[in-house]
Structure 1
Amino acid sequence: MFLRSSAMAAAGAVTLRSLHAQTARIKSPNDTIQLALIGAGSQGQGDTRWAVQVPGVKLVAVADCYDGRLAHSKEVWGNDLFTTRDYREILARPDIDAVLIATPDHWHKQAAVDAMKAGKDVYLEKPMIHIYEDGPEIIKTAKETGRILQVGSQRVSSVAYAKAKELLASGAIGKLNSVSARWDRNSSIGAWNYTVPLDASPETCDWPRFLGSAPKHAWSAERFFQWRKWNDYGSGVAGDLFVHLFSGTHFITGSNGPTRAMATGAIRYWKDGRDANDVLQALFDYPEGFNLSLRVNFVNGGEESEGFLFTGDEGTMEIAGQTVTVTRVPHEKEPGFTVGTFTEAMQKQTTAEYRKKYPLTHPEGAPQQTVQKFAAEKGYSDSYDHFKNFFDSVRSRRQPVEDATFGFRAAGAALLANRSVEKGTMVHWDPVKMQLG
């Protein structure tokens, strides 16, 4: 449900049905989707809690490189849960229909490709890629195997973002000319300083398996549990947070992505050995005729914040959480005039000529509505809807809203920021061919 309030008109309410109720089940409710989790960190376990709330879904297996997470998974989802350090044991099981992949970024491609080749449908956490070469291989494998692959940027399943898409398409703010977005944080945990368990060791953690294709490095509990701080395993704030902002922008505007980018960033505060920047700002040009500016600041001294501002030639549309606010600024009916520096005679003459062309009129009718606010009902979760979307696709075999191509375009655009910072120059991208310029 979505509620709407107006600042200028009488308050009213409209209801939008969430995806909870929109999509009819294709198969019998007795058909249970057997799900496995690959990567049981905080994101993976959090995702799973939403996933198993969808009717007809059961978690049956978990893979992770830390024994403590495997043990905790049994505490949460039952002792009959199959657990392993090696996700290939999960893929070999014929009773598993789909996998939820929430590994470090550098494992995304390999785990997803292996899963699809093993006949499993895939929910793949964002960013879809760690390096650009990952994208074409994931897309190719999805097409060749016919498996469903949905990327986990849940905003594209949000009723708020669907409303924003509808409003923009209807001309609510006129022609779009710019979008600005931010995702700032103001906490140590927000800056990826996740707690390292007291029993962390090479015995309880499968360090070689964690490293995978990453450069070899001596055992490090910090790298294992706080992997986002290093580019060997993560994609920085661009891959963690910019990609959400790109997913939202592309979903709402219908764009395939930007054509060029320029970014700047650095480690401004969290100088703790990490090599991923804690402040990143970037500008992007879109072929549809608008610019996008993005900012992530882990040194933000104020409140943590996430949001968008879409600016058109007739107003603005702001998204904050699950609310959308449209503010319209009516165009002036006349161009106006500036005569103050002219002689008094010329001022009178110019004003008189202007008023012949634009005579003064008394306003008639009700005041024009200038502000509308839409808000999802209390308790709404786009995470639930995103998993509902995925499992509906698993049953119907219809492609989800955030398939591999969408996911590559969002992640590819996001990683342009990292590339620009590394090169110290503007970088180019073909959003249709999904290729670097």
Structure 2
Amino acid sequence: MGAKVNMLAQAQAEPEKAVATNDHIQIALIGAGGQGQGDTKTAIQVPGVKLVAVADCYDGRLQHSKELWGQDIFTTRDYAEILARKDIDAVIVGTPDHWHKQVSVDAMKAGKDVYCEKPMIHLYADGPEMIETAHATKRILQVGSQRVSSIIYAKAKELLAAGAIGQLNMVTARWDRNSSMGAWNYTVPLDASTETCDWPRFLGTAPKIPFNAERFFQWRKWRDYGSGVAGDLFVHLFSGTHFITGTHGPTRAMATGGLRFWKDGRDVPDVMLGLFDYREGFNLSLHVNFVDGGEESEGLIFTGSEGTMEIAGNTVSVNRVPREKEPGYTIETFTEAMQKQILEEYKAKYPPVHPSGAPSMGYEKYVAPHGYSDSYDHFKNFFNAVRTRQPVVEDAVFGYRAAGAALLSNLSMERGAVVQWNPDTIKLA
């Protein structure tokens, strides 16, 4: 079996070109939780990008933003104050899911470009409004599933299109965790109260209930604010699958699962499995397990008629083992004369690939350079689009198709039934 390992090129390691003064981009962060702060730390590494303002509903995060990025950073609980500023070109939306649509729409209408964290939507009605607003305002909107900008995923897309594994028939993907923090039991600060937290603003359109610190700081555990494992993790797997295959999405979905271990008041599953049909001729199988008993693991396996392709971390590998081209084992039940005749016909029909008669097999592995960051590339792509007004790799339509497909899992579990989906019109069928 042939084997080779290739190091992929890393464009971000190349010397950055100087950024002209009028090409500098000033950004604001809206929603300064763990993801929002992480996004911002990456975003400002891109040359010519400066953070000038932060909005959040918890005073402690506003104070920490000044600790991180300077006392001159403008901070506020009210993101409308940020959108009113003329010196801000783009915003990062790192709010809970139920605020994604409204903040993004308000920002675009205020003339700001938007980097919106995934999932793009919380409700299906969010998608069309976000798409229409991006179109009407001519604003850039990029969704934050960073793997779509990864050189690993780009290589996988190239390999699949080149027929490296033959005809695709199945994609199997997983994202498993076992830690308390991985299961969304985020730390609640000791000063959490109605004085330090703007509870009414946090709730927004969610049901009005008394202050609850766990819901404020661990919001992913409740459907009122988050989208469960489907919106948090399935959507990444859908984004990667859709980017690599070029599909618009599944045509039907079915899901099962439940709350198996983290019975702490949350109302979303900690184990979910989903199955999806694609008209391109393959099936997608997804699962997330927050009680897997081991280390966090994520990966996708693309199975084709001539081999498999696996993405794991910053590597993509192809393993080709040709399908057997020999008579079935029942040939041994025939007469020796018949066996000989059948074998001669098979040799004529399936001549050896190599003169030696050895089967065509192979293993290839492609590796991203040490320290490679797809998050950096995703922001680099976003800011390039902000400057050039060229389309982004993960626009509102792509984001809606990925999030819409992911949320089919929640809908299927709620209904206890198969759910039909039209990936072209992006509507429930």
* TM-score (norm: length of structure 1): 0.94
SS of alignment partner, residue 61 of structure 1: strand
1:32-431 equivalences under 5 Å are 32-340=24-332, 342=333, 346-359=334-347, 364-365=355-356, 368-431=360-423
Give distance in 2, aligned partners of 1:53 and 1:254: 30
Q: Find the aligned partners of 2:185 and 2:270 in 1 and give their Cα distance.
A: 12
User: For residues 357 and 218 of structure 1, do their structure 2 counterparts lie closer, same or farther at Cα, with a shift above 3 Å needed?
Assistant: same
Question: For this pair of structures, how many residues does the alignment match?
Answer: 425
Identity %: 69
**Structure-2 residue corresponding to 1:16:** 9
- Distance in 2, matches of 1:387 and 1:416, equals 28
Give deviations 1:343-384, integer Å, cap 9, x for gaps: xxx421221211331349886358744111111010000000
Kept after mapping to 2: 8 A contact 1:20/1:385: no
- Residue 4 (structure 1) aligns with: none
Q: Distance in 2 between matches of 1:206 and 1:422?
A: 31
SS in 1 for 2:381: helix
In the aligned structure 2, how far is the partner of 1:249 from the partner of 1:19? 24
Where 2:372 maps in the other structure, the secondary structure is coil
Q: List runs of 5+ in structure 2 lacking aligned partners.
A: none
Match of 1:160, SS? helix
Cα separation, partners in 2 of 1:135 and 1:402, compared to 1, 3 Å? same
Compute the displacement of 1:18 (Å): 2.9
Shift of 1:310: 0.3
Cα distance in structure 1, aligned partners of 2:199 and 2:162: 52
Q: What letter is aligned with 2:341?
A: E
Gaps of 5+ in 1: 1-6
Shift of 1:130: 0.1
Number of the residue aligned with 1:3: none
Partner amino acid, structure 2, of 1:357: E
Secondary structure in 2 aligned to 1:417?
helix
* Structure 2: distance between partners of 1:369 and 1:180: 22
Q: CA deviation at 1:20?
A: 6.1
Aligned-partner residue type, residue 83 of structure 1:
T
Q: Match of 1:338, SS?
A: helix
Offset, 1:330: 1.7
- Deviations 1:130-155 (CA, angstroms, capped at 9, x unpaired): 00000000000000000000000000
**Alignment-mate amino acid for residue 364 of structure 1:** P
Contact 2:148 2:394 in 1 (8 A): yes
Could you tell me which amino acid in structure 1 is paired with residue 274 of structure 2?
A: A
Deviation, structure 1 residue 29: 5.6
Kindly state the Cα deviation for residue 339 of structure 1 after the two structures are TM-superposed: 3.0
Structure 1's consecutive aligned runs of 4 or more residues displaced over 4 angstroms after TM superposition are 19-25, 359-363
Q: Distance in 1 between matches of 2:255 and 2:114?
A: 32
Aligned residue identity for 1:398: Q
The SS at the match of 1:150 is strand
Distance 1:60 1:407 in 2: 27
Q: Answer whether contact 1:8 1:368 (CA < 8 A) is retained.
A: no
The alpha-carbon deviation at position 299 of structure 1 amounts to: 1.1
Q: What do the CA deviations read for 1:12-47 (whole angstroms, capped 9, x no partner)? A: 64542435659978x736521000000000000000
8 Å contact from structure 2 (residues 188, 214) kept in 1: yes
**Using a 3 Å threshold, how does the CA distance of structure 1 residues 433 and 19 change in structure 2: closer, same or farther?**
farther
**Native 8 Å contact 1:30 1:56 kept in 2:** no
Measured in 1, the distance between the counterparts of 2:201 and 2:347 equals 78
